[in-house]
Amino acid sequence: MKVDLVVPNSLADITLGQYQKFVKISESNTDEKFISIKMLEIFCKLKLETIMTMKATSIKTVTATLTEMFNAKQDLKHIFRMDGIQYGFIPNLEDMTFGEYVDLDSNISDFQEIHKAMAVLYRPIEKKFKGQYTIKPYEAKEADFMKAMPMDVVFGSMIFFYHLGSDLSKVMMDYLQQEENRELHTQLLELSAKNGVGINQFLNSLKEMLHSSKISLN
């Protein structure tokens, strides 16, 4: 039986909502075969009965491709387009309001709620001028829209916040140093490679990264 298979070309083709669904399912099951099936169901949009007709080697190839994609280095993206609208990363983190800061802090370390943190960080661009831009005011009620944002943008921002720890101001200045940014990527990739590069190992690394991304308000 011929299977019409469409594999995402990059994380830009995978939405946050899809990945949230995958993480929720995989958190309660560590069986590699089950996870492989769910990867094809969610990211390739195949039905279970279709997957069961595929060659085992084909499934292994697809899951390996997706896993490699998840482990690929992602840079912070300041601007991305979604549904015809350009979204921009908050231009100055120091201008964040207390309410925005609380919502970011409360949701950045929980993948099922991280779309709420993304709504603080990325908002529709209002104006552009001389390489700079302004963004719309934060509206918490629009957070669900961020579930449609691409995962390359999500992972890029997560890596940025990975080393924030409790000193937000210090890291905002350190971020401007390119050498420091390269070190963040190196450490994250080392974390993902501790026990191999399989999807289970990546998920464990992701959990550790999310825990470390918590921004303390103390």
Residue 153 reports pLDDT greater than 90: yes
Cα gap 151→165, rounded to integer Å: 22
pLDDT bracket for residue 216 (50, 70, 90): very low
pLDDT at 164: 54
pLDDT digits (tens, 9 = 90+) for 110-143: 889 999 999 999 999 999 988 899 999 999 998 9
For the ranges 54-58, 78-82, 138-142, 171-175, which has the lowest average pLDDT?
171-175
Strand partners for 112 = none
SS3 content of the chain, % helix, strand, coil (to 5): 55, 10, 30
CA distances to 137, 145, 184 from 180, rounded to whole Å, are 30, 32, 6
Query: What's the N-to-C CA distance of the chain in angstroms?
Result: 59
Q: Which of 16-30, 152-166, 201-215 has the highest mean pLDDT?
A: 16-30
How do the domains of the chain map onto residue ranges?
A: 11-71, 79-212
Strand duo 85-89 + 132-135: pairing:
unpaired
Strand partners, 32: none
pLDDT beyond 80 at 201: no
Most confident of 73-87, 154-168, 198-212: 73-87
For the four alpha carbons of 155, 123, 167 and 109, in that order, the dihedral sign comes to negative
Sheet holding 79-82: strands in order across? Answer: 79-82, 85-89, 122-129, 132-135
Q: Which of 204, 100, 117 is nearest to 154 (CA)?
A: 117
State the pLDDT confidence band at 204, using cuts at 50, 70 and 90: low
d(CA 38, CA 48): 9
Average confidence (pLDDT) over 167-187 = 50
Per-residue pLDDT, 71: 86
Q: Tell me: the pLDDT tens digits for 33-51?
A: 999 999 999 999 999 999 9
How far apart, in whole angstroms, are the C-alpha atoms of residue 217 and residue 207?
21
- The predicted pLDDT at position 181 comes to 54
